[in-house]
Amino acid sequence: MSSSNVVSLEPRGLSSRETAAVTLAEQNALFTAALNNMPHGLCMVDGEGRLILCNPAFGAMYRLPEMLTRRGTSRERILEYGFSTGQGPVSGVAEYLARSAEAGPGQSIVGELALADGRTVRISHTPIEGVGYVATHEDITDRVEASAKIEFLAYRDTLTGLPNRTAFQRGFDAAVEAAERQGEMFGVIMIDVDHFKDINDTLGHDAGDALLLNLAKTLSKAFRRGDTVSRLGGDEFAVVLRGLNGPEDLLRPIEVLQGLLRKPVEHSGRSFTISASLGAAIHDDPDADPLHLLKNADVALYEAKSGGRNRCVVFKPAMRTQVEQRVELLREVRLAIAQGEFDLYYQPVVDLVSNKVAGFEALMRWNHPEQGVLPPAAFMAAFEDTDLSLQLGEVAFERALGQMRAWLDEGVEFGRVAVNISSEQFRTGRLASDIADKLRAWNVPAERLAIEVTENVYMGWGADVVAETVCALHATGVQIALDDFGTGYASLANLRQFPVDRLKIDKSFVQNAEDDAIVRAVINLGASMGMKVVAEGVEKPEQLAALSAYGCDQVQGYHFAKPMPAGEVAAFVRGFGGV
Ligand code: C2E
Ligand code: CA
Ligand code: CA
């Protein structure tokens, strides 16, 4: 209001009655001006709940027709109007009415209404002795949104919009409390994307982000609304599942999730499958400490990853000691590599058409100072450890190539030597050039070497690097064998994507008469795709006879020889008289 509009309250030589009337009129004008210009809505209501007065901001706030802003309008009518137009409050009314009914004169209470259009209104309500009440209505939408944003930033992961680590911890703490107080059963699942770092390194951060977003969506689909599905950071996700009735309530969503993960994901025209490792733990023993659940789930996740990834493991108490043993084993292997205790044994592969030794498979052995010669089963964990598998791979190539050079010099007809490759070796992206360098260094022709890879290296987001590596190796003349065929998830589509020279039928099929049909199918498949088929684990003459009848190209197994030290190879080749 400008100063010229200010009505003077000073008497101006009028009679006292006239003065009183003028003063009242002036005061009224002042109050009206104040009411009309205040940003908040204001209403005064009598003891019967009827409007005494309200200001324009009040009418505007609730979009009331002029008629409903008049004196005498009941509060109910105003509310009804809001409901009938669908613009009224959607929550907070009942609570506000109840609390305001209890407030005594002079006692202010505050209520909050959520309106249908998303606005939030805060009401300050003050009863007035003998009148009713006066209330101001303030639109606090901006403030609510700002604090929601702050909440979002503090408790949400910005990439996926999922609860973050802080929110996860809050959800976990709440579950622990409910378990301690009411004996509630709950579970935790830790999820880790396999080889995420390689995906980022080789396909770029966009692909990495797309994968994480996709996984976040998949996780939200697999679990209930009430489960806290969170991203802990990087490629780690975790879920808290509350109010479980039994282990099956934990296992069911895991199965759903694994099913969803098998579906390929499209990203910039390529199709991938996300492979993830899951560790789960359930608090179902009232005597156990629920606080340990996070640690247990972590141990289970560790088990899942070291068991070859792409799997789910549910925690069992025995795992604690297993994990400790594994850590101890890896420490020993590290030492043993440094001491040169690892060596290769060689098992002959026999060609059924030429009836000759076609080559040897190089198999790792540990010459343990106390326990003697140990097979890979005793140190499998080392092949799955990122660092050690690379070191063992290095040992295998150095030994195999050194040995091949020696045999070439001695004129031993060893054919082709197949070296097993762990998936970790592929992930480096350098495998092809490393092998080429080593072949050159030892002066061994590429035609003397084969590599054996299992199907699971061909799967997942690293598949591009694997394809490049395999193609590069194949182009130089190194043969590619697909190992343990039939035990993994590799599809025919995978087979066609990469050059594969040999299919190795897993020994479990060869040795099980019931799998006869599978063996025949694989042999036919290999023939139709121009690959040689090798059967492993041939122990009995009848197995050999059947394989031979089905047209299997090559065989390997104890029937001919167990893996032998390099020193016995020359004599074996010389003495081999055929099948
Ligand atoms: P694999 O590649 O499937 O190797 C075949 C395994 O079957 C070998 O076990 C071999 O000794 C065994 N075997 C061969 N013929 C018969 C048979 O007639 N009957 C039976 N019961 N078994 C037979 P081994 O040497 O213990 O190797 C086990 C696994 O360890 C290999 O399976 C391979 O996956 C892995 N491995 C071995 N050496 C290396 C290596 O240098 N690098 C990598 N990454 N993995 C290796
Ligand atoms: Ca093999
Ligand atoms: Ca095999």
Q: What is the spatial distance between Cα 306 and Cα 424, in angstroms, rounded to a whole number?
A: 12
Which of 542, 131, 375 has its CA nearest to residue 383?
375
Closest ligand to Cα 399: 1
- In total, the chain counts a number of residues equal to 579
328-576 to CATH, choices 3.30.465.10, 1.10.1060.10, 3.20.20.450, 3.40.50.300 = 3.20.20.450
**Token digits of residue 288:** 């156990």
CA quadruple 407, 410, 415, 417: dihedral, nearest 10:
0
Regarding the beta carbon of 11 and ligand 1, being less than 6 Å apart is answered no
Regarding the beta carbon of 486 and ligand 1, being less than 6 Å apart is answered no
pLDDT bucket at 579, cuts 50 / 70 / 90: confident
Question: What are the percentages of helix, strand and coil residues in the chain, rounded to 5?
Answer: 50, 25, 25
Alpha helices in 66-204 (DSSP H): 75-85, 93-102, 141-155, 165-182, 196-203
**Token digits of residue 339:** 């001491």
Closest ligand to Cα 419: 1
Q: What is the spatial distance between Cα 95 and Cα 114, in angstroms, rounded to a whole number?
A: 12
Regarding the beta carbon of 482 and ligand 1, being less than 6 Å apart is answered no
Residue 247: phi, psi to the nearest 5?
A: -55, -30
Mean pLDDT score of the chain:
90
Instruction: Give the strand pairing for 132-139 and 186-193.
Output: unpaired
**Token digits of residue 6:** 């200010």
Closest ligand to Cα 452: 2
Nearest CA residue ID for atom 33, ligand 1: 420
Regarding the beta carbon of 481 and ligand 1, being less than 6 Å apart is answered no
Looking at 40-54, 435-449, 455-469, which range is the least confident one? 455-469
Q: What is the mean pLDDT of residues 114-143?
A: 94
Nearest ligand 1 atom to alpha carbon 425: 44
Question: What CATH architecture applies to the domain 16-143?
Answer: 2-Layer Sandwich (3.30)
Q: What is the spatial distance between Cα 131 and Cα 48, in angstroms, rounded to a whole number?
A: 9
Q: What is the mean pLDDT of residues 320-332?
A: 88
Nearest ligand 1 atom to alpha carbon 539: 18
Regarding the beta carbon of 394 and ligand 1, being less than 6 Å apart is answered no
Nearest CA residue ID for atom 37, ligand 1: 363
Regarding the beta carbon of 133 and ligand 1, being less than 6 Å apart is answered no
Residues 6+ apart with CB under 8 A from 289: none
Query: What b-and-e string marks burial along 423-449, b requiring 16 or more CB atoms within 10 Å of the CB?
Result: bbbbbebebbeebeebbeebebebebb
Q: Where in the chain is the domain with CATH 3.30.70.270?
A: 156-315
Sheet holding 236-241, edge to edge: 228-233, 236-241, 186-193, 276-283, 312-314
pLDDT bucket at 195, cuts 50 / 70 / 90: confident
Q: To test ligand 1's pocket by mutation, which of 346, 350, 364, 399 has the most ligand atoms within 8 angstroms of CB?
A: 364
pLDDT at 5: 44
Regarding the beta carbon of 547 and ligand 1, being less than 6 Å apart is answered no
Nearest CA residue ID for atom 29, ligand 1: 376
CATH number of the domain located at residue range(s) 156-315 in this protein: 3.30.70.270
**Token digits of residue 340:** 């040169």
Q: What is the spatial distance between Cα 175 and Cα 137, in angstroms, rounded to a whole number?
A: 39
Q: Are 175 and 187 in contact (CB under 8 A)?
A: no
pLDDT at 6: 44
Q: What is the spatial distance between Cα 142 and Cα 149, in angstroms, rounded to a whole number?
A: 10
pLDDT at 149: 87
pLDDT by residue (tens digit) across 523-550? 999 999 899 999 999 999 999 999 999 9
Q: Which residues fall inside 5 Å of ion ligand 2, going by CB?
A: 420, 452, 483
Cα 468 from chain centroid (whole Å): 26
Provide the whole-model pTM.
0.62
**482, pLDDT greater than 60:** yes
Q: What is the spatial distance between Cα 397 and Cα 401, in angstroms, rounded to a whole number?
A: 6
**Percent of the chain surpassing pLDDT 70:** 95
- Selected residue with higher pLDDT from 185 and 153: 185
Query: What b-and-e string marks burial along 14-25, b requiring 16 or more CB atoms within 10 Å of the CB?
Result: eeeeeeeebbee
Q: How many separate helices (H) and strands (E) can be counted in the chain? A: 21, 23
Amino acid code (one letter) for 294: L
Residues 6+ apart with CB under 8 A from 125: 96, 100, 103, 108, 109, 110, 111, 133, 135
Nearest CA residue ID for atom 35, ligand 1: 376
Q: Where in the chain is the domain with CATH 3.30.450.20?
A: 16-143
Q: What Å distances lie between residue 342 and 271, 366, 561, CA to CA?
A: 39, 5, 21
CA 154 / ligand 2 centre spacing (Å): 50
Count of CB atoms within 10 A of residue 304's CB? 24
Which of 416, 509, 492, 417 has its CA nearest to residue 455?
492
Q: What is the spatial distance between Cα 392 and Cα 343, in angstroms, rounded to a whole number?
A: 10
Regarding the beta carbon of 457 and ligand 1, being less than 6 Å apart is answered no
Nearest ligand 1 atom to alpha carbon 452: 2
Nearest CA residue ID for atom 13, ligand 1: 537
Q: What is the mean pLDDT of residues 326-355?
A: 96
**13, pLDDT greater than 90:** no
Regarding the beta carbon of 435 and ligand 1, being less than 6 Å apart is answered no
Which of 420, 419, 418, 414 has its CA nearest to residue 358?
414
Regarding the beta carbon of 237 and ligand 1, being less than 6 Å apart is answered no
Which of 134, 166, 138, 171 has its CA nearest to residue 153?
166
Q: What is the spatial distance between Cα 460 and Cα 467, in angstroms, rounded to a whole number?
A: 12
Amino acid code (one letter) for 488: G
Q: Where in the chain is the domain with CATH 3.20.20.450?
A: 328-576
pLDDT by residue (tens digit) across 43-94? 999 999 999 999 999 999 999 999 999 999 999 999 999 989 888 899 999 9
pLDDT at 459: 63
pLDDT at 1: 39
pLDDT at 447: 97
Regarding the beta carbon of 118 and ligand 1, being less than 6 Å apart is answered no
Amino acid code (one letter) for 486: G
pLDDT at 435: 97
Q: What is the spatial distance between Cα 389 and Cα 154, in angstroms, rounded to a whole number?
A: 40
Enter the DSSP assignment of 50: B
Q: What Å distances lie between residue 228 and 170, 171, 185, 194, 216, CA to CA?
A: 10, 7, 15, 22, 12
CA 346 / ligand 2 centre spacing (Å): 11
**382, pLDDT greater than 90:** yes
